[in-house]
Amino acid sequence: MTATTATGRAWTPWRTVLAFGLVSLAADMVYEGMRAMAGPLLGDLGASALTVGLVTGAGEGIALMLRLVTGAWADQAQNHWRLTVIGYAMTAVCVPLLAVTPFIGAAGLATAAVLILLERTGKAVRSPAKSALLARMATQTGRGKGFGVHKAMDQVGAFSGPLLLSGMAALTGVLWPGFALLAIPGAISLILLAQLRRHAPIVEESNDEAPAPSKGALAGLRTAIGTELPGAFHVFSLATAFMTAGLMTFGVISFRLVDRDIISTAVVPLVYAAAMAIEAVGALVTGQLFDRWGGGVLLAVPALVAGVPLLVFSDTVWVVFAGIAVWGVATAIQDSTVKAYVADLVPNARRATAYGVFAAVQGLGALGGGALAGALVEHHLPVLAAVVAVMQVVAAALVAWTLVRARRVAA
């Protein structure tokens, strides 16, 4: 493969990956800060609990399901960079505009809801294209290490953004100054992205055989849902859905910790920040292991996930913290090394499509897992732990099948 650049001087592979990581770090400060404070902001604007749930739930649904369309679109039109820039720009603009919503009267709530949904749309627009670009850029660094470093930098923004907004809220007593301040990392993300676009090398990978997208509405639907992608990819996506379903969200974990008076509400952001730091380190370590040993390291995920409910729902503080550490490591592998392996399973020309399909399937797993944990966590913990364990046995079997199938195809 060769590396050139269309304009300017080409950066080295590692400098390119690090620059992409800085873009994500700055952007994550913006949208993770928004996600952390969206509920309180909507509440201050007069929203009910139902409205908050509908707006934030719809936003997460858009962020995942719309990727089915944007991933296929990126591959068919070969506009990966354009969609990446548009998606980041939507985040950089929409989140700081939330600062004006307390000052526009009755229109404030509706405006805030629209801005939140537009920001989540921006996430859906950029994510498949961005992951495809990162997979290409990390070819020479090792995909495991490339995705791991990117995820670690991403996590720095994921916990610093919410902490920034919390600090501003504590200092001023209101939320809007924090949202306004997020215009700074938003602008930085776009400046860095412009520089990255100018200096990123154009990596020419080996041309693998991928069927050309068909014409027509029905054919377009089949392309969007990935019917032309390898069977091993779909089996692996299903395995990841089972793993995601078992790996309940931190919201469920923190709810029980506070409800059982294991920790106070004020300590929750600190525990979450610690979990994000563990996730960053976990992404770096597992990325190294993936490049050295291959996809076999992914078999560790079901084992880790199966242990999470046994630990985090204990009434002993140190056991709970150990469980949160395990949760952080499992989440790190899910969000970095797993994505690196997806790039190995699909043709180069269909990566954005694959990442869109993968996110949608993973989102369905998260939805089912959230409902399961919410229904069982308060009164049926043994049942929850047993169901999660069974799902992870299934996930491990599917991952093992994928690994064997991929080796046979490669041979």
Q: pLDDT of 63-87, one tens digit each?
A: 878 888 888 888 888 889 999 999 9
Q: How confident is the model at residue 226 (pLDDT cuts 50, 70, 90)?
A: low
pLDDT at res. 8: 55
pLDDT at 215 over 60: no
pLDDT at res. 1: 42
pLDDT at 152 over 50: yes
What are the boundaries of each domain within the chain? 15-195, 226-410
pLDDT at res. 235: 94
pLDDT at 240 over 80: yes
pLDDT at res. 146: 87
Q: What is the DSSP string of 294-347?
A: GGGGGGHHHHHHHHHHHHHT-SSHHHHHHHHHHHHHHHHHHHTHHHHHHHHHS-
Q: How confident is the model at residue 204 (pLDDT cuts 50, 70, 90)?
A: low
Query: Which tops the pLDDT comparison, 273 or 389?
Result: 389
Sign of the Cα pseudo-torsion (171, 172, 174, 175, in order): negative
- Cβ within 8 Å of residue 151, ≥6 positions away: 279, 280, 283, 287, 332, 335, 336
SS3 344: helix
SS3 249: coil
> Looking at residue 218, what DSSP letter applies?
H
pLDDT at 6 over 90: no
User: Angle at Cα 340 formed by Cα 56 and Cα 79, nearest 5°?
Assistant: 70
SS3 2: strand
CATH of domain 226-410: 1.20.1250.20
Q: Which two tokens stand for residue 40?
A: 């309180």
Angle, helix 80-97 to helix 67-77, in steps of 10 degrees: 140
Q: Considering the domain delimited by 15-195, tell me its CATH architecture.
A: Up-down Bundle (1.20)
Query: Which tops the pLDDT comparison, 254 or 356?
Result: 356
The β-bridge partners of 202 are 4
Q: Which two tokens stand for residue 257?
A: 């910790």
Classify residue 213 by burial, with Cβ atoms within 10 Å: 0-12, 13-18, 19+.
middle
- Torsion on CA atoms 250, 252, 254, 257, rounded to nearest 10: -140
> One fold for both 15-195 and 226-410?
yes
Amino acid at 358: F
